[in-house]
Structure 1
Amino acid sequence: MTSALVGSRILAALARVRDPELDEPITTLGFVASASVDAGGTAEVHLRLPTYFCAPNFAYLMVADAFDAVSTLDGVRHTTVILDDHFASDAINEGVAARAGFVRSFEGEAVDELDSLRADFLRKAVMAGTDQVCRTLDLPPAELAAVRLGDLSESEALDRLRRRRRELGLPAGDDAPLLIDPKTGAPIGADAVPLHLRKARLTRTSLDANTGICRGMLRHRYPTDGQGEGALP
């Protein structure tokens, strides 16, 4: 397998890694500074974030996810993922390379692994995705409460919502209700639909605003680097 082919698959794999808070690919956000692979199958990825003080738990998740995405590809024999220009770069880079986990990487500072944090962000993604899908519907609350995923036309937003729900172990088949509690998977009753939709819209608006802020800060920090997507041979 040629390095060019492996390289293109590396970038595709990185496009499936998301900022856990923003639920957007790290490639489109500009967080991939470079990605390369040599003829021997050694891959090296450099990530960068909007600020020097981005939360280390968020950063750790992205570096670890990028490592997992790249290292499992056919044709990749060794993977290095390096977070640049971050106050906790050394701890994160060394911890991910050693597969040490977050607690061991930040020994004496961290007390829990990041599974619950990831789940919290996935629940927000489900709420934001619910708003995105519901915006295309013009139905009163009682009818929205009865809508099943299989009743909806296929779309990128619906596909994304299904995937986030599956990641949380929530109902995502055609028979699943569109409106569910993202913590329990329980259907939302008609009387609770208006409040649920307000929460979903607030979540979506917050994510959109934070995404715009992060993109602006990244452009300010790295003004000459364009989009920041990795150039692969």
Structure 2
Amino acid sequence: MSALWDALGTVMDPELDQPVTELGFVSEAVVVDGHARVRLRLPTYFCAPNFAYLMVADAHEAVSALPSVTSVDVRLADHFAAEEINAGVAASAGFAGSFPGEAVAELDELRLVFQRKAYLASLDRLCVRLPGSPVGLTLADVPASPALVSLMRRRAALGLPCSSESPLLLDERGVPITAEEAPLRLRFARSVRVSIEGNAGFCRGLLHTRYPQAVGN
């Protein structure tokens, strides 16, 4: 159970940049004789199907990678597109294949947009904890902390430089942020973080209204 929960902990809500386990989106997760059964729920019946699909697909992939798991049943419940999403993920049909005639493309671009937002939010979380200006610092200049670990994980996901001599201040495309640009770029990063955290709080409230027994940190 611990390994299963840890695997699901790697699955992020793409918009909120938080694990589905911490958000309370996992209502059931068990493994019996190698068969993993996972049930997901979302704050509203009409949560965006593209976000929902990403979470179900990512959960299926994460659980399937466990050595102790031989078969996987991951399903979304209480959602208007649950039938299409569950069937599409089980058949590895992709988002477009799950919604034939409606979706015309996969979700790689959407995922990239939210990965970039998550990176900017993590950059702000780190910079506000530094004792001085972040301008001119390299990664080697930044003290070890959970915020740094979070930033490095998001850099790696985007393929941004992670070596110790790399500049701390890179934009979401990996371009160094100059001293002149830094105030404006960092204000933008802060606005992204505040928006993500505000949306996460709102969704937690909706989830607890819909499922009073939901447990989320």
TM-score calculated relative to the size of structure 1: 0.91
For 1:147 and 1:228, how far apart are their aligned partners in 2? 36
After superposing on structure 2, the runs of 4+ consecutive aligned residues of structure 1 that deviate more than 3 Å are none
1:182 matched residue in structure 2: 172
Q: 1:57-110, CA deviations, whole angstroms, 9 ceiling, x for partnerless residues?
A: 000000000000001101111001010000000000000000010011111111
1:18 matched residue in structure 2: 12
Asked if residue 77 in structure 1 is aligned to residue 70 in structure 2, the reply is: yes
Find the residue that maps to 2:181 and give its secondary structure. helix
| Residue among 152, 158, 163 paired with 2:148 | 158
Find the residue that maps to 2:27 and give its secondary structure. strand
Q: Percent identity?
A: 54
Aligned letter for 1:170?
L
Matches within 5 A, 1:179-218: 179-183=169-173, 185-218=174-207
1:123 matched residue in structure 2: 116
- The alpha carbon displacement at 1:226 in A equals 3.6
1:31 matched residue in structure 2: 25
- The alpha carbon displacement at 1:221 in A equals 0.2
2:136 matched residue in structure 1: 146
Question: CA, structure 1 residues 191+228, in 2 after alignment: closer, same or farther (shift >3 Å)?
Answer: closer
Unpaired segments ≥5 residues, structure 1: 1-6
- The alpha carbon displacement at 1:145 in A equals 2.5
Q: 1:166-194, CA deviations, whole angstroms, 9 ceiling, x for partnerless residues?
A: 111111221111111212x1100000000
Asked if residue 132 in structure 1 is aligned to residue 125 in structure 2, the reply is: yes
For 2:214 and 2:122, how far apart are their aligned partners in 1? 29
Alignment root-mean-square deviation, CA: 1.2
Find the residue that maps to 1:150 and give its secondary structure. helix
For 2:94 and 2:63, how far apart are their aligned partners in 1? 18
TM-score calculated relative to the size of structure 2: 0.97
Find the residue that maps to 1:27 and give its secondary structure. helix
Q: 1:147-166, CA deviations, whole angstroms, 9 ceiling, x for partnerless residues?
A: 11111111111111111111
For 1:226 and 1:120, how far apart are their aligned partners in 2? 29
Find the residue that maps to 2:205 and give its secondary structure. helix
- The alpha carbon displacement at 1:119 in A equals 0.7
Asked whether the 8 Å contact 1:95–1:101 carries over to 2, the reply is yes
Aligned letter for 1:34?
E
- The alpha carbon displacement at 1:228 in A equals 6.2
Find the residue that maps to 1:79 and give its secondary structure. strand
2:99 matched residue in structure 1: 106
Find the residue that maps to 1:75 and give its secondary structure. coil
